[in-house]
Structure 1
Amino acid sequence: MGGAGAAPGAVRAPMDQVGVCGLDSAGPLFRSARGASYGTAAGISSRGLRGVGRTQKPESKKQEAGDRMLVAIDTATDYASLALHDGFQVLVEHTWESPRRHTVELLPRLAAALEQLGLRADHLSGVAVTQGPGSFTGLRVGMAVAKGLALARGLPLIGVPTLDVVAAAQGRDRRPLCAVLQAGRGRICTAIYRWRGGEWRLREGPRLTTWSALAEETTSPTLFCGEVDLVGAEALAALGELAVLLPAATRLRRAGFLAEIAWRRLNRGEADDPATLTPIYLQYPT
């Protein structure tokens, strides 16, 4: 696939800026679990975060169970997902449709996931979060919770581009992989990946485009995954053998794959600075 047309650029946005993939803002950030100044997210209070991240002396057995326990948070779009991963396997994963409800649903879901394993936030050893592209509000909520936990608990924080998580769910293939997110107003966010070294690696993007432009640029057999709507499915079907739309179940973005990407980075000794990790949004070049 080529880069014909006006290819937008990826921009890492300060948390107080508006405009992620062309979607609108819904509010500032909230305070950390220890009460440090961290703003307020729309509808998420510092009390709500303290309920998840309160400091308590854990029982030794439970602390041992949580010595390696990473929470992965993905609220980048209307589909939200979170997972608890011990570095070997996914122990809990919740993925659900949450249009404009991340603010009220994320913390209760996180508390329920920890409770399912008999753990508290005290037992976490790392936090991963999708950093975009995605909806402005969704990214802000996910970033706020992830940064709050990381700062309050002193945990390493890993930010992962949203489309990397989409690609990670797909199996090995020699053909290029195009991962897609809906961007609103007839636009889509896309990135192209190639299988290298046992994983899908970014080759091009992310960028904003349209289904018609993407179809025109597809000149060799390509796999497509992610948020493919009816318009996209029709555009891809018209390409015949040039477009392979992967099964719907594998196109769903899951936090378990976000956690696996994060663990690979943590095992290499990598982590992001909560003070500088910012969302990625896309814009057309001026």
Structure 2
Amino acid sequence: MLLAVDTSTQTLGLALYDGNRIPAESLWQSQARHTVELAPAVDRMLKQNHNTPSDLTGLAVATGPGSFTSLRVGLAFVKGLALALKIPVAGIPSLDALAAAQPPSDLPMAAVLPAGRTRLAVCWYDYKENGWTFTGDMKVQTAQDLCDEIHQPSLICGELTAEERQILSRKWKNVHLCSPAQGLRRPSVLAELGWKKLEDNQSDDPVTLAPIYLHVNEVIA
């Protein structure tokens, strides 16, 4: 059984995966209470499914980008479990998990999530034979900056406020906004990606596994 944990933003997500089905998945909004809510939520999910931590054989964790504090809470929790239980862990970029859940399209797609101070973390993807593939820089920019740089029909998916949706929708000929439901980072998708990574013997060292942090005006090539 694999446990997936995503604490990238105020939206927390947990899922259990056994390679064939998702016996449990949970998503909720936390108002900066990740430290208080995460461990009890994991304990509750395991008990509801008649599991204990000793039943876990692997872990998957979203590595960001996202909130500095939120990511630290999730990573610290998962790394502690991995070391205590002596089980492998797979780190998955948060926006890769979001992109993987989107249906195929010939259009380029920007996956976004809140980056603080009214900014968005943005990654661009193209759909290839093996799914959505990261194609460009990872940026932090405002919704207006993102809107201004789009000059061809493009998909935008992710956590967006009403104001950000309004800004982006002004460019309706080129900007195709995914629905709020499609913009959720599903921990079940994170679990599947983590399971595959562990099956491919690409586990991460829990001691050195680190979150992806982006800062305003920073670009990572």
SS of the equivalent of 1:235 reads helix
TM-superposition CA deviations, 1:43-101 (whole Å, max 9, x none) = xxxxxxxxxxxxxxxxxxxxxxxxxx100000110000000000122110010001201
Output the amino acid matched with 1:255. P
1-side partners of 2:218 and 2:99: how far apart? 25
Q: Does 1:72 align with 2:4?
A: yes
Where structure 2 has 5 or more consecutive residues not aligned to the other structure, the ranges are none
TM-score normalised per structure 1? 0.74
Q: For 2:174 and 2:168, locate their aligned partners in 1 and report how far apart those are by CA, in whole Å.
A: 8
- Corresponding residue number in structure 2 for 1:145: 77
What letter is aligned with 2:79?
K
| TM-score (norm. length: structure 2) | 0.95
The alpha-carbon deviation at position 219 of structure 1 amounts to 0.8
Of 191-200 and 144-153, the range deviating more from structure 2: 191-200
1:190 aligns with 2:122: yes
Deviations 1:2-34 (A, max 9, x none): xxxxxxxxxxxxxxxxxxxxxxxxxxxxxxxxx
Deviation, 1:160, is 0.8
Structure 2 counterpart SS, 1:95: strand
The answer as to whether partners of 2:111 and 2:156 remain within 8 angstroms in 1 is yes
1:282 corresponds to which residue?
214
Question: Structure 1: where are the runs of 5+ without partners?
Answer: 1-68
2:29 alignment counterpart: 97
Q: Give the aligned partner of residue 65 of structure 2.
A: 133
Q: Who is 1:199 aligned against? A: 131
**What's the secondary structure of 1:118's corresponding residue?**
coil
Residues 128 and 159 in structure 1, CA contact (< 8 A), matched pair in contact too: yes
Instruction: Check conservation: 1:169, 1:251, Cα contact below 8 A.
Output: no
Please name the residue that 2:175 is paired with.
243
Residue 42 of structure 2 corresponds to residue 110 of structure 1? yes
How far apart are the structure 2 equivalents of 1:129 and 1:161? 8
- 2:159–2:180: 8 Å Cα contact kept in structure 1? no
**Alpha-carbon shift at residue 186 of structure 1 (Å):** 2.2
Q: What root-mean-square deviation, in Å, do the aligned CA atoms of Structure 1 and Structure 2 show?
A: 1.3
- In 1, distance between residues paired with 2:139 and 2:31? 23
Secondary structure in 2 matching 1:256: helix
Identity %: 42
Task: Give the corresponding residue for 2:89.
Answer: 157
Distance in 1 (CA, whole Å) between partners of 2:84 and 2:50 is 20
Question: Match of 1:95, as an amino acid?
Answer: L
1:124 to 56, 60, 63: 56
Q: Which whole-Å CA distance do the structure 2 matches of 1:177 and 1:260 have between them?
A: 21
1:218 is displaced (CA, Å) by 0.3
Whole-Å separation in 2 of the counterparts to 1:197 and 1:88: 23
1:14-33 correspondence runs (5 A): none
Distance in 2 separating the partners of 1:186 and 1:71: 31
Structure 2 distance, partners of 1:180, 1:206, is 10
Deviation of residue 203 (structure 1)? 0.9
Q: Which secondary structure does the structure 2 equivalent of 1:94 belong to?
A: strand
Match in the other structure for 1:226: 158
Partner of 1:82: 14
Bigger CA radius of gyration: 1
